């Protein structure tokens, strides 16, 4: 476990800087046709219903029926963008079933040594013993990167967990997703899409524990000895904070924010026996905007969207009998406009980020990054200046 931690700090936190020129110089990829050809198109996709909210500013969004998997409306569903903490849904899809809720674990300094500076934290401390249940509360309620890293070390280390998450994404046919860290923190090349995040939420909500955690509003978290402190879910549509009211029927799922990703959110709500999923990525403004646009899309889905005909579908996991969908870019799809350098990296299996899964690959990545740094310095500087975009 200690060796895995050392490899992770070098491979994920150190070598990403060396590889940054490679990612920054890669052009934006065309959208995939997973889930239907219309989802790869630019522009709003809807059929058979009117009245979509007029003032949506998100760079990508999607509305889907949880039960049927039908996509009722979307906008740039496959655009690859930084996911922030919404990627923790994939972390939960991958790791949640591995440990009994009652299992205890005493946290060490090494478990927290590779938590990125500036991370959201729940307050995990070395020397304190936690149950797995408490650690998952820290992940879901407070989006604690410290809790994610402890669970990842319990799972064999950061690199192993990242590799398993990538494999899980591929099983779910979430082919827009590139995993670099388990917590969703900003790293070059770490991207997902509104389509993929909705897949993660739908799959997760089939698990009772996942559903229970994402719908929990408050919990008491260990502070050492017999002391505890209360933590509250950061999903504002669930708790009704920062000037928002709780959304009727809200059951989760996960919000995220980083300075690079801006605001991201996947939410699920149930009314009259029908559950809808909405993902909103990168609205123009911060604060409550991601929740307001999610609320508007949910209102549409439960209202005028009830008559909408599917413009695509959320595909089933390969391991559960889902038909393999072609990742070939659609002929009519345009590249993702406005994609940053980090969001532009290819999802091809030969991506340099896959090299993080082994020590040998780490050496290759370092060499490649150094070579690119020498050869592409001017090109990267120009690309970075042109693509600089607040909140992206």
pLDDT at 191: 97
Residues 6+ apart with CB under 8 A from 308: 46, 47, 48, 49, 72, 73, 301
120: number of Cβ within 10 Å? 21
- Measuring CA to CA, which residue among 118, 141, 135 is closest to residue 235? 141
| Pair 99, 161: CB distance under 8 Å | no
253 phi/psi in degrees, rounded to 5: -125, -65
- Residue 260: what pLDDT? 82
Are 29 and 336 within 8 A, CB to CB? yes
**pLDDT, tens digit, 9 for 90 and up, residues 157-176:** 999 999 999 999 999 999 99
| Nearest of 305, 5, 20, 338 to residue 162 by alpha carbon | 5
Q: What is the pLDDT of residue 369?
A: 38
At residue 355, the 3 state secondary structure works out as: helix
How far apart CA 216 and CA 194 sit, in angstroms, is 24
pLDDT at 327: 61
Tokens of 4: 């895995």
The values of phi and psi at residue 21, to 5°, are -60, -35
Alpha-carbon distance 159 to 141, whole Å?
A: 24
In angstroms, rounded to a whole number, what is the distance separating the alpha carbons of residues 271 and 302?
8
Angle value at C-alpha 192, between 304 and 194, nearest 5 degrees: 0
**Which residue, 156, 209, 220, 216, is CA-closest to 182?**
156
4 three-class SS: helix
The CA distance from 65 to 20, in Å, is 38
- What SS3 state is found at 180? coil
Residues serving a catalytic function are 85, 88, 143
Return the pLDDT at 181: 98
Radius of gyration of the chain (CA): 20
Residue 324, φ and ψ in degrees, nearest 5: -65, 125
CA–CA gap between residue 340 and residue 83 (Å, rounded): 13
Reading the chain (392 residues) residue by residue, the pLDDT tens digits are 333 333 333 333 333 333 333 233 222 344 568 999 999 999 999 999 999 999 999 999 999 999 999 999 999 999 999 999 999 999 999 999 999 999 999 999 999 999 999 999 999 999 999 999 999 999 999 999 999 999 999 999 999 999 999 999 999 999 999 999 999 999 999 999 999 999 999 999 999 999 999 999 999 999 999 999 999 999 999 999 999 999 999 999 999 999 888 999 999 999 999 999 999 999 999 899 999 999 999 999 999 999 999 999 999 999 999 888 766 554 434 433 333 333 333 333 333 333 333 333 333 333 333 333 333 333 333 333 333 333 33
């Amino acid at each position: 476990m200690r060796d895995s931690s050392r490899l992770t700090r070098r491979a994920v936190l150190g070598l990403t800087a060396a590889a940054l020129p490679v990612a920054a110089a890669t052009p934006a990829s065309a959208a995939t046709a997973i889930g239907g050809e219309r989802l790869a198109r630019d522009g709003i996709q809807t059929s058979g219903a009117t009245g979509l909210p007029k003032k949506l500013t998100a760079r990508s969004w999607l509305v889907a029926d949880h039960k049927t998997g039908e996509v009722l409306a979307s906008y740039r569903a496959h655009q690859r963008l930084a996911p922030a903490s919404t990627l923790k849904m994939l972390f939960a899809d991958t790791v949640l079933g591995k440990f009994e809720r009652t299992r205890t674990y005493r946290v060490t300094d090494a478990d927290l040594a590779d938590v990125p500076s500036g991370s959201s934290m729940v307050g995990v401390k070395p020397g304190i013993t936690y149950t797995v249940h408490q650690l998952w509360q820290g992940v879901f309620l407070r989006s604690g990167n410290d809790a994610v890293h402890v669970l990842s070390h319990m799972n064999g280390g950061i690199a192993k967990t990242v590799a398993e998450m990538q494999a899980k994404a591929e099983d779910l046919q979430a082919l827009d997703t590139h995993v670099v860290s388990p917590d969703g923190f900003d790293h070059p090349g770490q991207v997902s899409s509104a389509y993929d995040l909705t897949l993660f939420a739908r799959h997760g909500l089939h698990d009772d524990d996942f559903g229970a955690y994402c719908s929990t509003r408050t919990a008491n978290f260990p502070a050492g000895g017999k002391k505890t402190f209360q933590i509250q879910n950061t999903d504002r549509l669930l708790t009704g904070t920062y000037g928002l009211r709780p959304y009727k029927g809200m059951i989760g799922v996960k919000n995220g924010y980083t300075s690079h990703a801006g605001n991201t959110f996947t939410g699920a709500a149930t009314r009259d026996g029908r559950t809808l999923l909405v993902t909103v990525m990168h609205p123009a403004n911060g604060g409550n905007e991601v929740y307001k646009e999610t609320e508007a899309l949910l209102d549409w889905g439960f209202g005028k969207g009830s008559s909408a005909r599917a413009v695509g579908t959320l595909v089933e996991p390969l391991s559960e009998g889902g038909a393999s969908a072609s990742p070939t870019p659609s002929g009519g799809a345009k590249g993702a406009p406005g994609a940053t350098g980090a969001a532009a990296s290819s999802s091809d299996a030969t991506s340099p980020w896959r090299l993080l899964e082994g020590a040998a690959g780490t050496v290759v990545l370092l060499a490649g990054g150094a070579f690119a740094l020498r050869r592409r310095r001017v090109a990267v500087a120009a690309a970075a200046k042109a693509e600089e975009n607040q909140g992206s």
